[in-house]
Amino acid sequence: RYNFFFDNCATRPAAIIEKLAGGKIDYNIPFKQQTFRDLINYCTRNKPWLTFGCDLALGSPTDRIATPHEMMFLPPYLKEAFGTASITGADGSRKELVSSTKTLINGLTDEVKPDTGFFTPLVCCWAFFLVVLAVTFVEWRHKSYFRIIDCILFFTAGIAGIVLFFLSFVSTHPCVCPNWNIIWLQPFDLAAVILFTVKKLRKAAYYYHFINFAALTLMLAGWHFIPQHLNTAFIPLVMSLWLRSGYGVYRKIWNIGYEKY
């Protein structure tokens, strides 16, 4: 079965060559400590939305330091490793693994492009939070409740939570479980939408907001202690859910909106 870290289009040729090389292959590339996430994010450094998606889907195992051999799951590292490798035969003789190279098709240049785009994940997510903050301020100022805001926000978070739940606990992909993002993107958010809209469940909606607010408060407070790299663009999204649940608790205390369910 395909495995994008340990059994992909780069690792399979390497395994075949190592098996048929007629001796032991010694790789002589200098080793720099990098995690699997570091290696992936370097490849996606010019595509911030792709980096955003990878950071969302890949869990804490991705933050493990990759060995020099494991780094060869990326074709550029495989090329570099083979270019400096040598074969030691049974008689002790040594020869280069690659005697010559030939470029068949010139690819794109591997250079860092300046980030001049406005619609980056960080900018868009902070803009989204400011909208949520403004709406919540209007609600607080006028002692009102725009239920549709919570329904849209938590429905979207719930859908994303189902995807993360599937990746973490159902799929066989490597390095996707555990994933700490499931704290703020969880399938239960879909059920919360029902609590928000059904009058008889308004008390349960308060308890859901209370638990969610407490969980997200702990997550934000311990952000730098979580054993997983979390994209900084996630912070305003977590704060948006935190703010709405916090306002849900506030509304219950001051009985704002609950009598109109």
Instruction: Give the residue extent of every domain in the chain.
Output: 11-96, 121-260
In tens, the pLDDT along 46-96 reads 999 999 999 999 999 999 999 999 999 999 999 999 999 999 998 889 999
Q: Is the peptide bond before 178 cis (omega within 30 degrees of 0)?
A: yes
| pLDDT at residue 77, as a whole number | 92
CB 158 within 8 A of CB 193: yes
**Helical H segments across the chain, by residue range:** 11-20, 36-43, 48-57, 75-83, 121-142, 147-169, 188-197, 202-221, 234-254
User: Percentage of the chain surpassing pLDDT 70?
Assistant: 94
The C-alpha torsion from 46 through 51 and 53 to 56, rounded to 10°, is -170
β-pair partners for 88: 24, 94
Cα distances (Å, whole numbers) of residue 152 to 13, 122, 167, 197: 47, 21, 23, 12
What pTM, to 2 d.p., does this model score? Answer: 0.90
